[in-house]
């Protein structure tokens, strides 16, 4: 890592009209995390690294997301969209502080990696005034073209302003740039708007750097890394690229993915060693899976921590706030939410466990339901260690089941059950000797009479 200080300015003022959504473009998710969060995560971190995000007016939700992801980042509002250079200058106050390197990135380009930012900064250390991230575009239409003389970057020509000859160039501007920090403001202030769209183009920095007799260079990367998101189809493509990366990283870390292409991961999923994930599992944000756990097919898991050697599913739904101890077994058609289930406990079939604390080694039979909501408020269910809840029991919260207590099947439990007590809440059973035989005879006679 370089010891140079840096300021990263992320441009996120766009409306994103082509997303056809009320959500600001940079807040759309890829792998369970906003486009903007991906860029903020990849931008330089740590001592000497500062961040500024340029947002549109009325984009409070974007400002909130910035604060959530990088509390140290400053936000600046670009009141009018007059072009990318104009957008960068909305952060003038931060730029004027004069970090060694000024990095500019786009908030809608989520696949960029931290390594690429580092590679882009390296030429500045060797005296270049500007380094531009370039890529070979399969279809360069619409992109700014990088015009080179030998290794020297001479200019960037926007598609609309490019000649027929220049349009043949496939080396394109990814939009990410690194400026020598102390010269950045001087360069940016020289950018004018004499072009076909009348905008202040950041790309004009290259020609200005040349006029100043300074060096500009290109650092190349793959097209996949710099895909910009403008519509839902591109959002889906970025998701596919990100999922492929996440699956590969999981496999490299030793996770067994039996059918990797059917498993959906989140950018922040954390795995222990020897984790197995069966086909068709969806993992949302905030999931941690400890050593030796097995996630069976068709499970859906969000904001959950799973203990060592736990077994989940098939067909389990683990919702936010679920915390499962070591060796916990969650079976088919079980839903959990805001539930702590301690080590060795079993909830094997057809249950809902919400707003609950379940003690170690307890057993919740098939069809156990925590009735946590009274239509107005949520209430808590506490189940002690080693308790046994018989099948088809309803636990009407707030309610406490003591340690080692036993609940008879089919009970509706509305009162606390002391430790080691047995609670049975159902009508006494009534057996009538010969009743079934008499009933059959009566019905058969009635049928015979009707059929005449
Ligand atoms: C830009 C580049 C182009 C490059 C392409 C890569 C310029 C002039 N052109 O073109 O060379 O090949 O990206 O995708 O830089 N933004 C603002 N305020 C503004 C204008 C833009 O915040 O006033 C933000 C947008 O929200 C977006 C980014 O800057 O995140 C880029 O703007 P966009 O209009 O998408 O530029 P392109 O035409 O794609
Ligand atoms: Mg764009």
Is the C-alpha dihedral spanning 207, 216, 161, 105 positive or negative?
A: negative
Cα 16 to ligand 1 centroid, rounded to whole Å: 11
Closest-CA residue, ligand 1 atom 17, reads 13
* Number of other residues whose CB lies within 10 A of the CB of residue 111: 24
Residue pair 39/106 in contact (Cβ under 8 Å)? The answer is yes
N-to-C CA span, the chain: 97
If one residue of 106, 134, 177, 237 were mutated to test the ligand 1 pocket, choosing by the most ligand atoms within 8 A of its CB, it would be: 106
Distance CA 255, CA 83 (A): 45
Cα 99 to ligand 1 centroid, rounded to whole Å: 23
pLDDT at residue 159, rounded to an integer: 93
Which residues in the chain land under pLDDT 70? 1-2
For residue 144, what is the DSSP state? P
Per-state percent for the chain, helix, strand, coil, to nearest 5: 25, 30, 45
pLDDT at residue 14, rounded to an integer: 86
Question: ∠189-43-271 over CA atoms, to 5°?
Answer: 170
CB of 82 sitting under 6 A from ligand 1: yes
Question: What percentage of residues in the chain have a pLDDT greater than 70?
Answer: 100
Query: Whats the size of the chain, residue-wise?
Result: 452
Which ligand 1 atom sits nearest the alpha carbon of residue 82? 23
Cα 132 to ligand 1 centroid, rounded to whole Å: 14
Which ligand 1 atom sits nearest the alpha carbon of residue 83? 23
Instruction: Please identify, in words, the CATH class of the domain defined by 6-226.
Output: alpha beta
Closest-CA residue, ligand 1 atom 21, reads 84
CB of 13 sitting under 6 A from ligand 1: yes
pLDDT at residue 11, rounded to an integer: 98
pLDDT at residue 136, rounded to an integer: 97
Cα 193 to ligand 2 centroid, rounded to whole Å: 18
CB of 18 sitting under 6 A from ligand 1: no
Distance CA 421, CA 150 (A): 85
Where exactly does CATH 2.160.10.10 map onto the chain? Answer: 232-423
Residue 401 structure tokens: 């089941």
Closest-CA residue, ligand 1 atom 1, reads 175
If one residue of 12, 14, 108 were mutated to test the ligand 1 pocket, choosing by the most ligand atoms within 8 A of its CB, it would be: 14
pLDDT at residue 97, rounded to an integer: 95
pLDDT at residue 351, rounded to an integer: 98
CB of 87 sitting under 6 A from ligand 1: yes
Distance CA 406, CA 428 (A): 18
CB of 108 sitting under 6 A from ligand 1: yes
Closest-CA residue, ligand 1 atom 11, reads 144
* Number of other residues whose CB lies within 10 A of the CB of residue 420: 13
Distance CA 101, CA 204 (A): 18
Distance CA 369, CA 393 (A): 6
Which ligand 1 atom sits nearest the alpha carbon of residue 81? 23
* Number of other residues whose CB lies within 10 A of the CB of residue 281: 24
Closest-CA residue, ligand 1 atom 33, reads 84
CB of 202 sitting under 6 A from ligand 1: yes
CATH topology of domain 232-423: UDP N-Acetylglucosamine Acyltransferase; domain 1 (2.160.10)
Catalogue the active-site residues.
349
13 annotated ligand binder: yes
181 annotated ligand binder: no
Strand-pairing partners, residue 346, are 329, 363
CB of 191 sitting under 6 A from ligand 1: no
**Of the ligands numbered here, which is closest to the C-alpha atom of 173?**
1
Question: ∠356-360-361 over CA atoms, to 5°?
Answer: 115
Distance CA 404, CA 418 (A): 9
409 annotated ligand binder: yes
Where exactly does CATH 3.90.550.10 map onto the chain? Answer: 6-226
Residue 154 structure tokens: 């001479």
* Residues measured by CB to lie within 5 Å of ligand 2, the ion: 228
Taking only the tens place, the pLDDT of each residue in 288-343 is: 999 999 999 999 999 999 999 999 999 999 999 999 999 999 999 999 999 999 99
């Amino acid at each position: 890592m370089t010891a140079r200080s840096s300021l990263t300015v992320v441009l996120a003022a766009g409306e994103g009209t082509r997303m056809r959504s009320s959500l600001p473009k940079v807040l759309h998710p890829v792998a369970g995390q906003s486009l903007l969060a991906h860029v903020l995560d990849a931008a330089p971190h740590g001592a000497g690294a500062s961040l500024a995000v340029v947002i549109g007016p009325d984009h409070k939700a974007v400002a909130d997301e910035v604060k959530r992801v990088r509390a140290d980042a400053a936000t600046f509002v670009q009141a009018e969209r007059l072009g990318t250079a104009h957008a960068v200058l909305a952060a003038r106050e931060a730029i004027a502080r004069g970090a060694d390197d000024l990095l500019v990135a786009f908030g809608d380009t989520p696949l960029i990696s931290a390594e690429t930012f580092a590679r882009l900064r390296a030429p500045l250390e060797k005296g270049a005034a500007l380094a531009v991230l370039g890529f070979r575009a399969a279809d360069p239409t619409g992109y700014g073209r990088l015009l080179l003389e030998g290794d020297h970057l001479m200019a960037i020509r926007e598609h609309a302003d490019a000649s027929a000859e220049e349009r043949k160039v496939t080396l394109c501007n990814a939009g990410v740039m690194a400026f020598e920090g102390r010269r950045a403001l001087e360069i940016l202030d020289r950018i004018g708007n004499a072009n076909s769209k009348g905008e202040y183009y950041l790309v004009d920095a290259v020609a200005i750097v040349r006029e100043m007799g300074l060096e500009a260079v290109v650092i190349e990367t793959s097209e996949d890394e710099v895909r910009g998101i403008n519509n839902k189809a591109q959002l889906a493509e970025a998701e596919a690229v990100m999922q492929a990366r996440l699956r590969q990283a999981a496999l490299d870390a030793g996770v067994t993915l039996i059918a990797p292409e059917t498993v959906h991961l989140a950018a922040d999923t954390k795995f222990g060693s020897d984790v197995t994930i069966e086909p068709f599992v969806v993992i949302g944000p905030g999931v941690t899976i400890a050593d030796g756990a097995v996630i069976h097919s068709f499970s859906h898991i969000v904001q959950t921590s799973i203990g060592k050697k736990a077994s989940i599913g098939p067909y389990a739904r683990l919702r936010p706030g679920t915390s499962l101890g070591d060796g916990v077994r969650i079976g088919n058609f079980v839903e959990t939410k805001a539930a702590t289930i301690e080590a060795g406990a079993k909830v094997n079939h057809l249950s809902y466990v919400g707003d609950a604390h379940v003690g170690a080694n307890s057993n919740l039979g098939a069809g156990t339901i925590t009735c946590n909501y009274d239509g107005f408020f949520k209430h808590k269910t506490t189940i002690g260690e080693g308790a046994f809840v018989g099948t088809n029991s309803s636990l009407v919260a707030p309610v406490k089941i003591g340690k080692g207590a036993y609940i008879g099947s089919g009970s509706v439990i509305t009162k606390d059950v002391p430790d080691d007590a047995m609670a049975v809440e159902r009508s006494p059973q009534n057996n009538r000797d010969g009743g079934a035989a008499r009933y059959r005879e009566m019905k058969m006679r009635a049928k015979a009479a009707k059929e005449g």
